Amino acid sequence: MPGRTWKLCLLLLLGLGLGSQEALPPPCESEIYCHGELLHQVQMAKLYQDDKQFVDMPLSIAPEQVLQTFTELSRDHNHSIPREQLQAFVQEHFQAKGQELQPWTPADWKDSPQFLQKISDAKLRVWAGQLHQLWKKLGKKMKPEVLSHPERFSLIYSEHPFIVPGGRFVEFYYCYGHVPNGGRVYYLQRSQPPLLTLMMDCYLTHTNDTTFLQENIETLALELDFWTKNRTVSVSLEGKNYLLNRYYVPYGGPRPESYSKDAELADTLPEGDREALWAELKAGAESGWDFSSRWLIGGPNPNSLSGIRTSKLVPVDLNAFLCQAEELMSKFYSRLGNDSQATKYRTLRAQRLAALNAVLWDEETGAWFDYDLENKKKNQEFYPSNLTPLWAGCFSDPGVADKALKYLEDSRILTYQYGIPTSLQKTGQQWDFPNAWAPLQDLVIRGLAKAPLPRAQEVAFQLAQNWIRTNFDVYSQKSAMYEKYDISNGGQPGGGGEYEVQEGFGWTNGVVLMLLDRYGDRLTSGAQLAFLEPHCLAATLLPSLLFSLLSR
């Protein structure tokens, strides 16, 4: 940029002009992967269709040498390197994405696990076997050079092998005092929804490995401490204060993996508002719902991503996850004989349960809703996350399942025959209508399935049947599993958001296999079910209930 130094340009980019807010720190210190002129010039030149590709590429030589060569090249071109020369620079100094990983198959791998034999439908059984084989395709381990030269990689070293989600996501999800948004240096200041404690519970259920729990209980405590220290917010209602949690990432600059999009979006705002925008985008990414009307509603610009306000909301799902984790931690410490810590977490859960009931629960509609801290009211739009406490077992009213079922009926969610929609809002964002996501199906299906009501259990099965057929039909057409599905006009790969729909796909495969394991003796690969209209729901359930009674 003629007549300007790079430092001045960077200040302007970050919105640090006179009268603007104070700069937030970058997501990490790397002047290649997290901030700086090199990152800015490469990403704004859009050398790759997906910005994430560049920040996932390893360096060929030491970062100091790369930066020195770049600085000289940039100075020679007045801080605006022509695209062809920039491309040549990247090709010379960076390696292709994924070079630091090699295939891995678990040592205890079984080609034909026992649960396959429980699946009655022959087509579904063959399909489940094919999905099981995908784990080998997604299994990875790191090459030794990631350990010997960590400065050359955005990938964070792990000695243990792991499963990647697939597609553009070729990193692990691992503990680092919290679970980062991904196993890359540029993700370190963002967490993931806190599910590590639940993972431990699943592991213990299958192995009964108390020694492993003893060795790692403090790691689990670290994650919950991270949310307490960094993501707690106080809500005052009717003279009482309640402590709950939110997504919140006070770090500046565009997200490195979506740099050009964030920079261009910021250009639509005054300079003084850009740092806040970038922090809210990171908070949205931390939630896993990047992005959704959930984080836009209630603000001055609810139809644009520039109006995102993630940190201004207290999310139902986040607090249900933490409530569940606190209950599990109490159980773990009791198992280990540490009564004082068990009591601590039992008390924390009781306090959170009271806060959920007071702040997020709505008796009239029979569901929980995100709470808007600025507008001091609930966001009563439909999202499957509204029923997360049912899935997490974080409620005290024994009639909750019946109320949740009525909520689904009243919202007409049971009329969608290809899956549960992520919302009823059409925004073009990927975590909105018409997309449906596997984890959200799991939240609702297992939440209902845990209920003591036969009616709720049967609706859970019907929802599972719909989702299995959508996934099976798309796989039959495309020979692939996808991260999300469009349920608006028959099941198809999903769309919207910041990138093309990804194949793989870890959580989609996992939820399908879990449902086939649970309901394999009943699920079929045949024609789609009819709509579950509320007024005919009883008629739909009656044959199954009669069969259940006659079978006793």
Specify the residue for token string 């807010």. 21
- Cβ atoms of 370 and 301 closer than 8 Å: no
Q: Which of 54, 100, 10, 94 is nearest to 257 (CA)?
A: 54
Please indicate whether residue 538 or residue 375 has the higher confidence score (pLDDT): 375
**Number of other residues whose CB lies within 10 A of the CB of residue 129:** 14
- Cβ atoms of 252 and 14 closer than 8 Å: yes
Compute the distance between CA of residue 518 and CA of residue 263 in angstroms, rounded to an integer. 46
Spatial neighbors of 431 by CB under 8 A, at least 6 apart, are 289, 290, 291, 292, 294, 422, 423, 437, 497
Q: 76-108: b or e for each residue (b if 16 or more CB lie within 10 Å)? A: eeebebeeeebeebbeebbeebeebbeebeeee
- Mean pLDDT, range 62-89, rounded to an integer: 98
Q: Which of 264, 261, 269 is nearest to 307 (CA)?
A: 269
Q: Is 50 a catalytic residue?
A: no
Question: pLDDT per residue over 297-315, tens digit each?
Answer: 998 889 899 999 999 999 9
pLDDT-based confidence at residue 60 (cuts at 50, 70, 90) = very high
Question: pLDDT per residue over 322-331, tens digit each?
Answer: 999 999 999 9
Marked catalytic residue, from 121, 286, 458, 483: 483
For residue 94, pLDDT beyond 50: yes
- Cβ atoms of 304 and 199 closer than 8 Å: no
Question: pLDDT per residue over 440-497, tens digit each?
Answer: 999 999 999 999 999 999 999 999 999 999 999 999 999 999 999 999 988 899 999 9
Specify the residue for token string 């045949």. 526
Compute the distance between CA of residue 353 and CA of residue 526 in angstroms, rounded to an integer. 42
pLDDT at 489: 83
Contacts 24+ apart (CB under 8 A), 174-182: 175/219, 175/222, 175/223, 177/222, 177/223, 177/226, 178/222, 178/223, 178/226, 178/227, 179/223, 180/156, 181/285, 181/286
CA atoms within 13 A on the CB side of 486: 14
pLDDT at 5: 32
pLDDT at 59: 98
Marked catalytic residue, from 257, 290, 326, 442: 290
- Mean pLDDT, range 389-393, rounded to an integer: 98
Spatial neighbors of 100 by CB under 8 A, at least 6 apart, are 58, 142, 143, 145, 146, 153, 155
For residue 540, pLDDT beyond 50: no
For residue 548, pLDDT beyond 60: no
Question: pLDDT per residue over 125-141, tens digit each?
Answer: 999 999 999 999 999 99
pLDDT-based confidence at residue 218 (cuts at 50, 70, 90) = very high
For residue 3, pLDDT beyond 70: no
Planar angle of CA 471, 165, 279, nearest 5 degrees: 115
For residue 427, pLDDT beyond 60: yes
For residue 536, pLDDT beyond 80: no
Cβ-count burial of 538 within 10 angstroms (0-12 exposed, 13-18 middle, 19+ buried)?
exposed
Q: Is 290 a catalytic residue?
A: yes
pLDDT-based confidence at residue 545 (cuts at 50, 70, 90) = very low
Question: Domains of the chain by range and CATH?
Answer: 102-142+409-525 (no CATH), 192-246+315-396 (1.50.10.10), 248-313 (no CATH)
For residue 13, pLDDT beyond 70: no
Single pTM value for the model: 0.90
Backbone phi, then psi, for 276, in 5-degree steps? -65, -40
